[in-house]
Structure 1
Amino acid sequence: MAKPPEVGASAPSFTLPGLLLTEDLAERREYHLEEAKGRPLVLVFYPGDDTPVCTKQLCEYTSDLDRFKDLGATVWGISPQDLDSHERFARKHRLAFPLLADPDRAVARAYGITVPGLGLRRSVFILDGGGTVTWRHIALAGLTFQHTDTLTAQLATLGES
């Protein structure tokens, strides 16, 4: 199994199908890590659509999306569920950032966050505009999540360097 990329390392590249809910339309397309270059990216790996902790986490990030945007960052959520599940989840909770489908967990494995028999560890990777990991958090149990204040504080340091 791959090890998680260290701070200072390039993030593993990937292409995944995803969707973005805008108003009542769900735009489905391929998302390529390279397209995010030029601005910070918050990659949020979460275990499952419509589960209690994941719902709280993604709803908080949606509520605070302007705080991420004010720092020039975009947010992408990644989990093993398919796009139909993501669309139901996004519509139910009005999630306003892309949700990407990693059903075979290939990207989660590339990021070193899979757990045999359990799925994946709740994890957040912050990448700078060049695709370098500048901060990461990989949960041991995944019963809590990193709040917006923590993530935006880390993003704010990108502008200071």
Structure 2
Amino acid sequence: MQIGDKVPQFSLLDQNGTKRSNNGLKTPLVLFFYPKDDTPGCTIEVCGFRDKYDLFKVLGAQVWGVSNGSSSSHLAFANKNKLQYPLLCDKNDSLRKAFKVPKVLGLLDGRVTYVIDRNGFVKHIFRDLLNGPEHIKEAIRVLKEIQNQ
């Protein structure tokens, strides 16, 4: 997946068993892939998106997290951290593969954030395994640019 690419159609269940699909989505979407529930770096990242969630709403965007954790793992993680947005269950890594999210050192699931415009095109990709907070800053910066176009 590269900037300018049309995002493939996808549909996954979230932590509450609700089916989430990009089919017909008419708002920008911040789709962030994170390695694992309840790890220090991932907790910092998801809480960063939580803390700026109202700003994402003001910018007209939805925020969805994605990892291969189970719905029960995602639900416990979301409840523990009081997340207001869905965590998608990518159990067989199908969405991760569709977006070509790389593994780090061939072992660790990568941390990549995609900003997708309301027409379903990738506007920005940010890859950084170690700096979760920068993912939030980059997404906000790009959403502001999209809003001003």
Give the TM-score category using the shorter length: over 0.9
2:103 corresponds to 1:107 = no
Residue identity opposite 1:6 in structure 2: Q
CA distance in 1, matches of 2:2, 2:94: 18
Shift in Å, 1:118: 1.9
SS at match of 1:48: coil
Q: Percent identity?
A: 33
Residue identity opposite 1:62 in structure 2: R
Q: Quick check: 1:113–1:138 contact (8 Å CA) kept in 2?
A: no
CA distance in 2, matches of 1:117, 1:124: 19
Cα distance change, pair 73–86 in 1 and its aligned pair in 2 (3 A): same
CA distance in 2, matches of 1:39, 1:151: 14
**Number of matched residues?**
147
Query: Could you report, residue by residue, the CA deviation over 1:110-159 in whole angstroms, capped at 9, with x for unpaired residues?
Result: 111142852421000000001100001123xx121224332211101112
**Going by fraction, where is strand more abundant, 1 or 2?**
1
Query: Could you report, residue by residue, the CA deviation over 1:93-121 in whole angstroms, capped at 9, with x for unpaired residues?
Result: 11110000001111101111142852421
Query: Could you report, residue by residue, the CA deviation over 1:16-75 in whole angstroms, capped at 9, with x for unpaired residues?
Result: 1113xxxxxxx421111114x211000010000000010001001101100100000010
Query: Once structures 1 and 2 are overlaid, which stretch shifts more, 51-60 or 115-124?
Result: 115-124
State the match for 1:95 in structure 2.
83
RMSD of Structure 2 on Structure 1 (CA): 1.5
Q: Among residues 20, 33, 36, which one is paired with 1:31 in the alignment?
A: 20
Q: Which runs of 5+ in 2 are unaligned?
A: none
Residue identity opposite 1:52 in structure 2: P
2:5 corresponds to 1:18 = no
CA distance in 2, matches of 1:12, 1:63: 29
Q: Quick check: 1:105–1:114 contact (8 Å CA) kept in 2?
A: no
2:112 corresponds to 1:123 = yes
Q: Give the TM-score normalised by the residue count of structure 1.
A: 0.86
State the match for 1:144 in structure 2.
131
